[in-house]
Structures are given as structure tokens and as C-alpha cells.
Amino acid sequence: MPITSQHVTGFVVGLGVAAAGFYVYKLNQRRVDAWLESQGIRLPGAGGGDPNAMTLEELVRQKERLEDLIAEREFAAEQKTVKQVEQDTQKADTGHAVSATAARRQAKAAASET
């Protein structure tokens, strides 16, 4: 199927409409982003700029998100430490008598140090 003048015209018109839509969006970007967020749509790049320009609500939301990330990483590190101690305990059981309770205490101590 050859490309006709109708194809080219449609492409140019579509490109023009897309450019005009982008221009209008950029003019009203803050209003549009605020409306989208009020509808529950989070934009990845929106509001992630200057912390001084953020509202108190946005700062609290960001703080809670960071606290959740920190808690997840601490939990993952603790689980990793517990697994390592359990593996060491299994190895030690064959040669040395190390109790599982002592291994758990070591894991908790290591996790509390981090």
C-alpha cells in the first residue's frame, strides 16, 4: 500500500495537534497536575522538585514514604542477618555446639547495631 497525500496530511495534522496539546499542557501544568493528583493519579516527576516549594501535606507524605522505605530496608537487613546466623549455626552444629538461642541473640545484636 503506497503512502498517499492523505497519509502525509493526517500525519502533519496529528503532529500539529500533539504539539498544540503539549503547549497548552505546559502553560497549565501546575493546574493539570494538581487536578490529576486530586483524581488519584500520581505523576512520577510532579512535585519532586524543590522541597521549599512543597506544601506541608506533600512534605508529610514524602516523609512517610521515606520512613516506609527505611523500615523495609531495615527489615530486609535483619532477615538477611538472621538467615546468615542460622546458616552459621547449622555449620557450627557439625563442629561446635552453638545454640540457636545464642545465634538469634547475635542476629538481634547485629541488627540493632545497624
- Cα–Cα distance for residue pair 100/92, rounded to 1 Å: 10
Is this structure's pTM higher than 0.85? no
Assess contact for 38 and 57: CB atoms under 8 A: no
Select from 73, 75, 76, 51 the least CA-distant residue to 62: 51
Tell me 98's DSSP state.
-
Confidence grade of residue 52 (pLDDT, cut at 50, 70, 90): confident
Segment 79-104, tens digit of pLDDT? 888 888 888 777 776 655 556 677 67
